[in-house]
Amino acid sequence: MNTSGVTLRLLDKADKEILKLPRTVKGAFFDFQHKFRSNPHTTGLKLQQLKGDSRIWSARVNDEYRVLLLRLADNDWLIVSVKHRKDVYNRLSYGVNQVTGGIEYVDLEVVEDSVLRRVPAPAPQAPATAEPAAPTQPEPARSLFADWSDQHLTDLGVAEPLLPVIRTLTTEDQLLGLVEYAPQLTGEVLLALFDGTSYDDVLDQVTKPVAATEPVDPDDFETAAQRPATVVTTTDNALREALESGDFGRWKVFLHPTQARLVERRYNGPARVGGGPGTGKTIVALHRVRHLVRQLPPGRDKPVLLTTYNKNLAADLRSRLLELGGEELLSRVEVSHVDQLALRIVREAEPGNGKQAIDDSQAVREWRGLLDELGEEKWDPEFLHDEWTQVILGQAVGTRTDYFRARRAGRGRNIGRAERAEIWQLAERFSQRLDRLGRQTWDQVAERAARLEMGREQRILNIARQRDEAGGRDNVHLQDGSGGWLRYRYRHIVVDEAQDLRPAHWKMLRAMTARGADDLFLVGDTHQRIYKNQVTLGSLGVNIRGRSSKLSLSYRTTRQILRSALGVLGETTYDDLDGSEENLAGYRSVLSGGLPAGHAFPDWAAEREGVAALIKGWDAGSDTGIPHEQIAICVPTNQMAAEMAYTLKLNGIDSVEIRSDGPYGSSGVHIGTMFRFKGLEYQRMIIAGVSDGLVPREAVSRLRDTDPVRHRHEIQRARSLLFVAATRARDSVDVFWHGKPSPFLDDSWVDTPESAS
Ligand SMILES: Nc1ncnc2c1ncn2[C@@H]1O[C@H](COP(=O)(O)OP(=O)(O)OP(=O)(O)O)[C@@H](O)[C@H]1O
């Protein structure tokens, strides 16, 4: 607990410098912080103003190292750097960025060194020719940003002191050298321009979202320190954790200004955050939960619900929430897998309902069984299952007559009255069959739960009305039939992976919290929708109009992977969960790495051997440090996953199967079908079996002529699956195929040196 009234913060990126310090110096740094907080003027700290500088001070960490601090106000200090004593008098520059209003700090010598280290090796000498060529002056290399004036760049938010060095940049490598030590926005702007984004788009997509909304006073550092653009941490513990867990702990402490705004904003109703893979939607959801909990009155209940699509992801959310805020935070939050939540509601209302819940693939097998028994060959089991879930259950169609009239938007080919009569009869038989077997689908569970919760909400509203009519007097019955107090189950609901929830889930969630400020907060990306649950939230009572925003900086994937992954999506259009279109404009990364690689093989067996050889190559090469659990192999089918595991085993490589509820086993390379990788992240991704006929499946391609609408939907889903798989990678993606490559792979995958072999 800090009692001295001293605030000590750490500026974003200074942590990176600290991480690189020798272990003992890091230890000394923690001691320094502690002492400084209790009394900055303790003699041992040797706090002194740098000569010739009014705001920067230095203090002692140990004999060799010094902390540089900006004095924001009397007792308010900001650590901007920790460096060797001999580097303290480098050319330092700091100021308030005129566009964002955030505090920025640059050590020009560090930046220049980083750029210089990347100077390309001299070009090889031209071979001697008989006829000596006329001496030519080497062309001076063109500055990367010659097309933009200084004014252009600073208007985009580029840090002014860096302009001279920016003008010297001629290669991508040098640019990356600069980005490493430049303020965040400078890096984002320069890379976006370098990648070919137009000036106006950079202004709209990169700069405007972080621009200050009020006039910026360049001398008011205290105000600047409060702006989201000044990314800092203040608490000892947060900092200690971030430093101890290295890059992996940064998400707990340093939110991007765009992320921070979304976390802290007050919304007048349901809000939604979109954004491409790896942009930190889950991170924002977790911080949002903490923000909401901090505003709760003290208590022992759990008024905040954090929910997501599957069990595996819910477990992951729980452990990350624990990391973020410890047991104290977790004690006020219910973290639940949405299907399980629905099942609990149903069981609570119907204690006798012991039916086993089955997933879609089991349900399709049941349909197939039914059709076989009836000798019915006209209908495709998958089509019937979709019709039943999306139209009959999805629209709560209760009678045959209603079904004749039901809208079948997005369901493909027209179905006449006679056919509807057939389907209705089959659907009745199907639900009787499930009943008899003591089974229910997750869609049925969700529907039932939605109805129960909507009924409960109605009762709550009735009670409230009666109370109002009674002038707020207490003698009215405010209890439900069972004598318990009736209230909304949650005060706030936060949903991750929102794009894949079933329509009935939304109805259920809507009814679980009172309509009002900060009631529902959803994060999700429709480009990653891999199930068939397309919804229009407005029609389900969740009104996100005017409260929708987007993240666009990827913290996971490199620019190279991101570019190729976007190619997988093709020209298809995507929705915004509310009936309008959404795109990934502005989606970008400041991380850089190798190009994705394609690997062609004559058949599946050779392809599997190829995968094993690649992993063995990594083990033998300079990458020995990669634990196998950080490598994932993703394949189109379960059968292929088993075959892949077998081949790896023969090659002495252990593997872990990713099942619907998480990894099965503890050590080895992770293997699973594409569906299993949603929300996960690996250092290296291998996507195998990306052949024509497998991605997309042959059966999908056949729909092209018979049912063009379904074909379009299925192709979109297949593209999203591959997109999700490709964007799980932090550092590298290798795509394998045999025979003809999938039509979803563009030249950036197919024309790589590996694929030519
Ligand atoms: N502000 C941040 N600082 C450091 N790392 C971050 C930050 N925000 C996100 N990350 C990291 O980026 C990665 C992706 O974040 P996250 O899983 O939240 O993205 P997402 O948008 O939910 O991705 P997806 O849509 O693919 O599931 C994680 O490793 C996370 O720790």
For the ranges 43-52, 283-292, 467-476, 615-624, the lowest mean pLDDT is seen at 467-476
Residue in 253, 283, 290, 523 to alter for ligand 1 test, most ligand atoms within 8 A of Cβ:
283
Q: Residue 170 — very low, low, confident or very high, per pLDDT cuts 50/70/90?
A: very high
Residue 697 DSSP label = B
Mean confidence (pLDDT) of the chain: 88
Tokens of 87: 């580097």
Is residue 460 domain-resident? yes
Higher model confidence: residue 446 or residue 14? 446
Statement to judge: residues 549 and 458 lie in one domain: yes
CB 523 within 8 A of CB 498: yes
pLDDT confidence tier of residue 483, bands split at 50, 70 and 90: very low
Is the pLDDT reported for residue 235 higher than 90? Answer: no
Q: Which residues does residue 14 pair with via DSSP β-bridges, in sequence order?
A: none
The reply to whether 687 and 540 lie within a common domain is no
Residue 138 domain-assigned? no
Q: Are residues 603 and 702 in the same domain?
A: yes
Give the position, in ligand 1's atom list, of the atom nearest the Cα of 555: 12
Residue 555 Cα, ligand 1 centroid: separation in angstroms? 6
Choose one of 282, 494, 730 to mutate for the ligand 1 pocket test, by most ligand atoms within 8 angstroms of C-beta.
282
What residues contact residue 611 under an 8 Å CB cut-off, 6+ apart?
Answer: 633, 644, 647, 648, 686, 688, 736
Q: Which of 28-32, 481-485, 523-527 has the highest mean pLDDT?
A: 523-527
Distance CA(54)–CA(364), nearest Å, equals: 73
Residue-wise pLDDT tens digits, 240-266: 766 666 666 788 888 999 999 999 999
Burial of 334 (0-12, 13-18, 19+ CB in 10 A): middle
282 assigned to a ligand binding site:
yes
Residue 332 shares a structural domain with residue 280 = yes
| Other beta carbons less than 10 A from residue 6's beta carbon | 16
User: Which residue type is seen at 139?
Assistant: E
Residues 58 and 167 in one domain: yes
Ligand 1 centre from 280 Cα, in Å?
A: 3
The pLDDT of residue 353 = 80
Predicted local confidence at residue 51, as pLDDT:
79
Compute, in angstroms, the gap from residue 278 CA to the centroid of ligand 1.
5
pLDDT score of 699: 86
Which of residues 516 and 479 earns the better pLDDT score? 516
Nearest CA, atom 23, ligand 1: 278
CATH code, 751: 3.40.50.300
The atom number, within ligand 1, closest to the CA of 255 reads 1
For residue 472, the model assigns a pLDDT of: 63
DSSP β-ladder status, 655-659 and 65-73: unpaired
What's the 422 CA to ligand 1 centre distance in angstroms?
A: 48
* Three-state secondary structure call for residue 732: strand
Q: Are 13 and 181 in contact (CB under 8 A)?
A: yes
Is residue 581 in a domain?
no
Higher pLDDT, 482 or 67: 67
Answer yes or no: is 281 a known binding residue.
yes
Q: Are residues 607 and 460 in the same domain?
A: no
Is 129 annotated as a binding-site member?
A: no
Burial of 592 (0-12, 13-18, 19+ CB in 10 A): middle
Rounded to whole angstroms, the Cα distance separating 208 from 122 reads 40
Where is the domain boundary, 534, 555, 576? 555
pLDDT in tens, 509-561: 999 999 999 999 999 999 998 887 778 898 889 999 999 999 999 999 999 99
Is 401 in the same domain as 470?
Answer: no
Mean pLDDT of 281-301: 96
Q: Contact at 8 Å (CB) between 243 and 15?
A: yes
Average pLDDT of 571-599?
Answer: 89
Answer yes or no: is 689 a known binding residue.
Answer: no
State the pLDDT at residue 87: 87
Q: Which helix (H) or strand (E) holds 2?
A: none
Per-residue pLDDT band for 705 (boundaries 50, 70, 90) equals confident
Residues within a 6 A CB radius of ligand 1? 250-251, 254-256, 259, 275, 277-283, 525, 528, 555-556, 679, 681, 727
Domain ranges, residue 274: 256-346+446-555
Atom of ligand 1 nearest to the CA of 286: 18
- Taking residues 308-330, report their average pLDDT: 93
Residues 751 and 617 in one domain: yes
The pLDDT of residue 12: 83
pLDDT band at 477 (very low <50, low <70, confident <90, very high): very low
pLDDT of the residue at 615: 95
| Closest ligand 1 atom to Cα of 280 | 18
For every residue of 140-160, DSSP letters joined together read: PPPPTTTTS-HHHHHHTT--G
What is the average per-residue pLDDT within 266-283?
96
What pLDDT is stored for residue 482 in this prediction?
46
Q: Which of 232, 247, 264 is the last residue of a domain?
A: 232
Give tens-digit pLDDT for 359-388: 888 999 999 999 999 988 889 898 899 889
Contact 99, 156 (CB under 8 A): yes
Selection from 574, 580, 652 nearest residue 616 by Cα: 652
Contact indicator for 98, 216 with CB cutoff of 8 Å: yes
Tell me what pLDDT residue 246 has.
65
Ligand 1 atom with the shortest distance to the CA of 724: 26
ipTM of the complex: 0.99
**pTM of the predicted protein model:** 0.89
**Please, which pLDDT band fits residue 3 given cuts at 50, 70 and 90?**
low
Whether 128 shows a pLDDT value over 50: the answer reads no
Number of domains forming the structure of the chain: 4
Residue 507 belongs to some domain of the structure: yes
Q: How far is the CA of 295 from the centre of ligand 1 (A)?
A: 24
> Strand pairing partners for 79?
10, 69
C-alpha of residue 322 to centroid of ligand 1, in Å: 16
Looking at the structure, do residues 269 and 414 belong to the same domain, yes or no?
A: no
